[in-house]
Amino acid sequence: MKPVVIAGAGPAGLAAAIHLRRSDIPVEIYERRRAPGARFIGEWQVLENYSRQEDAFDELRAMGIEPDFDHVPAHWADLVDDRDNKRRVTSDQPYGYFLKRGDEPGTLDRALAAQATSLGAVIHYEKKIAPGDADIVATGPGPADGIAKEIAFRTSVSDRVEVIFDPELAPGGYAYFFVLDGWGTLGLALLKGYGKLETQFEKTKARFQAIEPFDLEDVRPGYSYMNFFLHKSSERAGSVFAGEAGGFQDYLFGLGIRYAIGSGHLAAQSLITSKPYDELWRERFLATMQSSVSARLLYESLGKWGLRLFVWQSARNDFKKFLHSWARPSWWRLLLRPAAERVFGKAEACAHKIPCRWCRPREGRTGEPEPLPADFVSRYLEES
């Protein structure tokens, strides 16, 4: 039997491989990096648990994936507005699960790779193939709508989960600080003002230090980027696109792990059953994706006053239920959808002197694209 070829050994590609191998279909994965999760720094990321009513871990088990990676259920957080007003949010059920990314024991990446290879999947590391040569493309985000810098480090302070919503500090994005079991992650996500990333990151670190001082040891810096492209189809030229390569994620906060695993599973299901992939993912994801892309447009338009209200309202309700209210379809998101799809629905050319996938001008933007930080550019040029 001819093996299914998968480009990318991230959560989407590995989830597809696990499902295919459970159906006794041979699988070969091509990963351009040296190991699963090699582009990550051991940082904490969030597997969101609010976009659907079903618990994310129950969903994983139903897909034949065992959550045997290190994780911490998220029941609380401190949200901070531009005036440094802090509000504690809580939820009865986890609004998410904190998990580590990277090539280390206990990370999501190592766990999924171990499950795939134990079932017989073959992973070819440091080998890159063209998307047209793969049956399933799971190579990560395409055109960039935002960029982020973060550091992972050891610290002696007690657990903290803090998010700052300040459009001057993080225009269109947010700043975050997670400390769990002595391991910290501090990050800043921007959707404009890319050239100020390093400056704004230092301001972010100072803001969190002002809230409560913390020490840093074994500091690991990293960069990433995000994409809010709502595809009409995720089937092209005989290949299906899963994970962020297919535009699958919660657009409100750019959390893509749950969508990556789910879309990878559906990509495999399409090949196993011969059902059209577009039909499968639209049935499962389209309504919530359309809703969250409208919520993303509103979020970027809130401004200081709107984000203050967002922080205040989030603390008045169960936090998981509050986030779910933003994710589920509603009349106002239905009204916003045409505008949101105009803004996020086109993969446009980029004028930067690096591959065009790194920047996508929004509809209505004029002038030259904003410059990207030199460290960010050098990192991704080396990986291209």
Q: CB neighbours of 145 closer than 8 A, spacing ≥ 6?
A: 191, 226, 227, 228, 229, 344, 360, 362
- At residue 370, the pLDDT reads 60
Domain 1-69+101-145+227-384 falls in which CATH fold? FAD/NAD(P)-binding domain (3.50.50)
Q: Alpha carbon of 158 to those of 106, 198, 317: distances in Å?
A: 21, 27, 26
Q: Is 199 exposed, middle or buried (0-12, 13-18, 19+ CB in 10 A)?
A: exposed
Q: Please state, in angstroms and as integers, the Cα–Cα distance from residue 84 to each residue in 81, 162, 245, following that order.
A: 5, 11, 37
Domain ranges of the chain: 1-69+101-145+227-384, 146-226
Residues 6+ apart with CB under 8 A from 242: 12, 13, 15, 16, 136, 137, 138, 234, 248, 260, 263, 264, 266, 267
Report the pLDDT value the prediction gives residue 355, as an integer from 0 to 100.
42
- Give the chain's residues under pLDDT 70: 143, 344-372, 374, 376-384
Residue 290 confidence (pLDDT): 86
pLDDT for the residue 357: 44
Give 126-178 pLDDT, tens digit per residue: 999 988 899 999 998 776 778 899 999 999 999 999 999 999 999 989 999 99
CATH class of this structure's domain 146-226: alpha beta
**Which pLDDT belongs to residue 377?**
62
